[in-house]
A and B are shown apart, each in its own frame.
Chain A
Amino acid sequence: MKYESQSIAKLYFIAAIGLFVGQILFGVILGLQYVIGDFLFPEIPFNVARMVHTNLLIVWLLFGFMGAAYFLVPEESERELYAPWLAKLMFWIFLVAGALTILGYLLVPYATLAEITMNDLLPTMGREFLEQPTITKIGIVVVLLAFIFNIGMTILTGRKTVITLVLLTGLVGLAVFFLFSFYNPHNLVLDKYFWWFVVHLWVEGVWELIMASLLAYVLIKVTGVDREVIEKWLYIIIAMALISGIIGTGHHFFWIGAPDYWQWLGSVFSALEPIPFFMMTLFAFNVVNKRRRDHPNKAATLWALGTAVMAFLGAGVWGFLHTLAPVNFYTHGTQITAAHGHMAFYGAYVMVVLTIISYSMPIMRGREAANARAQVVEMWSFWLMTVSMVFITLFLTGAGILQVYLQRYSEDPMSFMATQEKVEIFYWMREGAGLIFLIGLILYIISFFVKGEDVKMLGSSVSIEETS
């Protein structure tokens, strides 16, 4: 570690992993409620468990992005963080606000939470993913602003690299689009239209900038490939992401009462959205093949390659599957959507955060890479989580195809609830895969505590260029 203040990232990463565990525990509860309908009812109804599951996901990914920025920016900028104390303060504010919000979901009925947080003053609650009380949303904005100020000042007063500038653009975009969560018009169509300015323009817009820059950073570090090459890739990837993804928002405007031209625009542009994800895969493998050194952290390289592949599968392939309007007419709001949501979030954002954690954590603990045994355990956790996520996706896709057929396509459509019973077997299998995922996650945490001999960097210029 070159700069003292980089170690602040450790706090953020530990919190991220802790909340990740919470997210998955509630995922397993949800999966069980799908098949045993009254499980934990009425103490923890499905909607409460779901809010906890999805909000924990978003919050821990934000912790992960912030930690990543605190680790990477000082090193790239070649200076200490502008205000380390502010980063620590914001950490505690964010953690306490997040914990209180989750406790609020679990301990009082949601309507009571809305009342005690005075939602009527500025109503923002009760919309998917944006369930947080308004006061929490304001807290998130404050934390984001302080964070961006801190990171921004470090970047702008230090060495500027393409990686840090792209990262900063992504983070500013994240904060700006979050502001749309405060706009909640009475008109349902307008509400839905602008709701996507947060959700879609995050995951298929500015978050892709964050993801690509984190991936580029780790790849430079573990492969030693020339910055010029990496930066060119980075620009072209994010160019394609925004060119396709901004108008691609239209794939959510098909059936909410928006004008008909969105059927065409949304279909065509979102059909291009897999391109940047495919380029990330090409990029990652290309760069690893051309590596100038063999970094001892094999696990980090595996995570980086895995991110590229899984993001392409989850976002690119499973996204394309249902993005054309004539297909989406049938699949809209079914288990197909859930299948895609899971693999895309995991493949792109969960995995990229785990990649940077894998690379940076050993360094913050005073070594170049974790010991060989710890890395083996970590790689096992990689495979368990990744393969079980593939199966979760496949089972949900199975459920979704049957659901579409029985409920929406056949001559004699069945009711929603009757259809759900017919596809129950897939939900049981999804729950099984979910338990394996949980085991993988436990193994992941164990990997941080496995002892063994340190791995040293091999002679740094082992030339493998001939093989590429």
Chain B
Amino acid sequence: MRETFTKGMARNIYYGGSVFFFLVFIGLTVDTVQTLPKTDNRENLTEEVVAGKRLWEHNNCIGCHTLLGEGAYFAPELGNVYTRFGESTEAIKGFIKSRPVDGIPGRRSMPQFNFTDQELEEIAQFLKYADGIKVARDWPPNIQG
């Protein structure tokens, strides 16, 4: 780099630039948090959904699936599974309940978690809530996720 561009100038760009953009980021974060009620489906964040989210976490579902496109890429997207399963929580519960304990020979399979009926309902309600979040351009591109 040329002599006209000194170390001091580089240092000032570093301090000035990072502080400035960090403050902008904080401002945007405040705005985002304030705007979220319009999209984040919090009106449907019931006790059951909260319990369902905890079950989702305690069984590490994200270790195989994506949820709104984040997670692992081994198993289907679940942010729209409620829609994909014909808007039926019963269908979701039926699927989870019927996973064979020893898997399906030669194929990827989901573990049998032995959830109680109550827990199945909570998980299904959580997935329904997630599906209700208003996402830009209604991602994913189609029902297959």
Contact = CB atoms under 8 A, between A and B. Distances in A.
B117 interface: no
B57 A127 contact: yes
Interface in B106-145: 106-109, 111-113, 129-130, 133-137, 139-145
A330 B136 CA distance: 13
B17 interface: yes
Contact of B63 (A51, A123, A335, A413): A51
Interface residues of A, number: 79
Contact of B64 (A46, A253, A417): A46
B14 interface: yes
> Of residues A37, A260, A330, which shows the largest number of chain B Cβ atoms within 10 Å of its Cβ?
A37
B25 A247 contact: yes
Interface string A332-369: 11110110000000000000000000000000000000
A42 B103 contact: yes
Given A47-B64, A239-B17, A338 B7 contact: no
> Of residues A42, A187, A334, which shows the largest number of chain B Cβ atoms within 10 Å of its Cβ?
A187
Given A188-B40, A239-B10, A247-B25, A333 B66 contact: yes
A131 B64 CA distance: 13
Given A37-B109, A46-B72, A190-B36, A242 B17 contact: yes
Contacts of A261: 28
A235 B10 contact: yes
B73 A257 contact: no
Contacts of A47: 60-64, 72, 74
Interface residues of B, number: 77
Contacts of B56: 126
Interface in B1-37: 1, 5-7, 10-11, 13-14, 17-18, 21-22, 24-25, 28-29, 31-33, 35-36
Nearest to A195: B70
Contacts of B25: 246-247, 249
A138 interface: no
A214 to B, nearest CB: 17
A190 B10 contact: no
Interface string B95-108: 00000011111111
B69 interface: yes
Contacts of A338: 73
B75 A416 contact: yes
Interface stretch (A63-71, A78-86, A225-233): A225-233
A278 B137 CA distance: 33
Nearest to B25: A246
A193 B135 CA distance: 13
A36 interface: yes
A455 interface: no
A241 B41 CA distance: 35
Given A38-B103, A249-B25, 10 more contacts: A37-B109, A114-B57, A119-B58, A125-B60, A242-B21, A260-B136, A330-B141, A333-B66, A408-B142, A413-B143
24 contacts: A38-B106, A38-B108, A46-B63, A47-B74, A50-B72, A111-B59, A119-B57, A125-B60, A186-B45, A186-B49, A187-B40, A188-B133, A190-B33, A232-B7, A239-B18, A242-B18, A243-B17, A254-B139, A255-B136, A333-B77, A407-B145, A408-B140, A413-B142, A413-B144
